[in-house]
Structure 1
């Protein structure tokens, strides 16, 4: 699964419209749709903001892991070490 598909899947699972994500990024919905559809490459700064907004790790979105850990859970696990 490509990162664009994961972005769309997570956003849909959380019932968040593209317009809301776009607003959080300070861009128009049409521009966000181009990123999510793979027409344009998303800047890393936007990816970081989206990860925080959706509360998921960049590792999951980028396909480095198939385990969708929430950011807060990862922080807790690293603090326990």
Structure 2
């Protein structure tokens, strides 16, 4: 699954793949595979990135165009 928005959010935040890989506790090459769609990103990493970017997993998965995260209930 190609997650184009991961790359866009990372670049807009002024971060490198190594920065995100460090946040996730993985190697840059593994993160690069997630970003390019060569490897499926584990759900717990997807949730962590949604929290980091203050957005929703639906936005990352291209299921909505609303970049705002869901309000806390």
Instruction: Provide the alpha-carbon RMSD of the alignment.
Output: 1.6
Deviation of 1:62 after TM superposition, in Å, equals: 0.9
Q: TM-score, normalised by structure 1?
A: 0.80
* Equivalent pairs, count: 73
Higher helix share: 1
Match of 1:8 in 2: 7
Larger Rg belongs to: 1
**Shift >6 Å, 4+ stretches:** none
Of structures 1 and 2, the one with the larger relative CO (CA 8 A, separation 6+) is: 2
